[in-house]
Amino acid sequence: ALRESRGEGGDDDPMAGCGSEFQLVCDAGADAYARVFHVARRKDGVAFVLKRAVLRNLHEQELILSEAEKVKKLMHRNITRLEKVWFSTRGPLTTASILLEKCEADLAQVF
């Protein structure tokens, strides 16, 4: 499900836009582009990764939506499953939230 929420939470609230379906487990770190959180679905405890990035412009939002639409259609054991994408707007900032299947494997061990 791709959706947009306005005025709810913001970049300082990693769960903004999640409603009560997921709970924060821990902050997993950040890179130059985004901050990553481990989250769990409340109803069954299944682990996911939530990636949040502040967008610099509308073009970035369009790119994320376009890529998400394509990735959502892919079903393969070697591709991390995309659960959902949403956007939160607070003042002039728009934050993209990307919820992904949590992979337990370490890529260094796979290759």
pLDDT at 4: 43
Q: Taking 80 as the threshold, does the pLDDT of residue 33 lie above it?
A: yes
* pTM for the structure as a whole: 0.75
Contact indicator for 46, 35 with CB cutoff of 8 Å: no
More confident residue, 69 or 107: 69
Extents of the domains making up the chain? 2-102
The residue type found at 46 is: V
Q: Architecture of domain 2-102 in CATH?
A: 2-Layer Sandwich (3.30)
At position 31, the amino acid (one-letter code) is: D
| Radius of gyration for the chain, computed over Cα atoms and rounded to the nearest angstrom | 14
**4: helix, strand or coil:** strand
For 67, the 3-state DSSP assignment is helix
